[in-house]
Amino acid sequence: MTIKWQGVAMAAAMGAIAIALGCADNMAESNSSQLQQQQQQIEDLQHQIDALKQQQGQFYALSSQVAPGGCDHGVMHDATQRGNEKLAARDYDGALDYFQDAASACPNDATAEFNLGRAYEAEGERDQASAHYRRAAKLGIGTQADVGEQARAALSRIEAGR
């Protein structure tokens, strides 16, 4: 009788091992499937990154086609808008950074020079402000005549305050 129970116990143990091995095989298959899905996701993301890099390269190629001494109006517009936001928030250094970007994008633009003058004046840098207002007044002709007038008024204001 003991041998019979040993046989039953042995059979039960063998069954448990078989079940465990079957579960392990299922887990291995599941892990392998999950790994393949993740690798596919990584590959898809890499394709998306490559496409974005290509689009970015096309954008920079277009924006770098501005003639020397010309004006990149898009950059100037965005930089001026952000500079005005920084100036309104009294972040004068941030405003100066953006206004300098605008002036770099459009080096002969009265508005860009006028905005630099505004930021320097807000910082209390009257000499720097005056220099930029003078340049804005000089450039402020034709379609930018109103900016030239504003620059001259700012110069008068600074001179009166000294």
Domain spans of the chain?
73-160
Strand boundaries in the chain, DSSP class E? none
Distance CA(85)–CA(77), nearest Å, equals 12
The CATH number given to 73-160 is: 1.25.40.10
Question: Per mean pLDDT, which range of 36-40, 41-45, 54-58, 118-122 is the poorest?
Answer: 54-58
Distance CA(16)–CA(20), nearest Å, equals 6
What is the separation of C-alpha 94 from the centre of its chain, rounded to a whole number of angstroms? Answer: 15
Q: Tell me which H or E stretch contains 158.
A: helix 145-160
- Convert the pLDDT of each residue in 89-133 to its tens digit: 999 999 999 999 999 999 999 999 999 999 999 999 999 999 999
